[in-house]
Amino acid sequence: MQARAYKADGTPHPESIELPESPFDGTVHEGVLHDVVTAIRARGRQGTAATKTRGFVRGGSRKPWRQKGTGRARHGTIRSPIWRGGGIVFGPSPRSYDQRIPKKVRRLAWRSALNARALEDRLVVVDPLELETPRTKSIVALLDMLDVGSQNALLLTDGAKKPVHLSARNLPNVLVRPWGEASAYDVLWADVVVVEASVLASEEEA
């Protein structure tokens, strides 16, 4: 499997680069991707929605009228769910939406997401970015040269690079993650995945 290669300033290399077999084996496990992305999105839910059942609604301890002789339906409390202002039946209560996903499954989903982007020719390789100080214009210029435009872009760096992270922090459609720390959801969120070439070299050596 191959990918387009560019220099650090966005100038294209004359030839494409061969992606390492690990993790780029060309296999996409859609079911695993679905499970992991669902779990990641569920983990982002606050789980603070709450309603009161009839046991928590204030008032209603006295029977509204006697059981027989009034001609009306029998009731024991005005806080019954069928009364206006009464309790809620089967309403939400505070809970955790966390779903446990095994580490191997998360890793498999991450590889599948990278393969999906590579097969769609939406994964590009760039030479290592060497920024001494944060400079947003440099990241914008690079993405313009890569013809990313207003698309979502994920930049995978070789280790933590603070200047690169700070340079892209103010760009709403750009996400910077060290290689190996991006989730499958991060990869699928991005329309274009930009990977530093030094990352792939280390993968081949491993």
Query: Contact 206/61 with Cβ under 8 angstroms?
Result: no
Q: Starting at the edge strand that comes first in sequence, how are the strands of the sheet with 192-196 ordered?
A: 17-18, 2-6, 123-126, 192-196, 153-157, 174-178
Q: What is the crossing angle of helices 30-43 and 103-119, to 10°?
A: 110
Predicted pLDDT of residue 50: 96
Give the mean pLDDT of 128-153.
90
Q: Which domains does the chain have, with CATH numbers?
A: 2-27+113-205 (3.40.1370.10), 51-91 (no CATH)
Banded model confidence at residue 205, pLDDT cuts 50, 70, 90: low
Portion of the chain with pLDDT greater than 70, in percent: 98
Q: Convert the pLDDT of each residue in 57-108 to its tens digit.
A: 999 889 999 999 999 999 999 999 999 999 999 999 999 999 999 999 999 9
SS3 per-residue string spanning 35-51 = HHHHHHHHHCCCCCCCC
Confidence check: pLDDT of 202 > 80: no
**Locate tokens 């560019």: which residue?**
6
- Dihedral over alpha carbons 16, 20, 21, 22 (to 10 degrees): -140
Output the six-digit token pair for 14: 């004359």
Largest interatomic CA distance in the chain: 95
Confidence check: pLDDT of 206 > 80: no
Does 134 sit behind a cis peptide bond, omega within 30 degrees of 0 on the bond before it? no
Banded model confidence at residue 9, pLDDT cuts 50, 70, 90: confident
Output the six-digit token pair for 186: 């991060």
What percent of the chain is helix, strand and coil (3-state, nearest 5)? 30, 15, 55
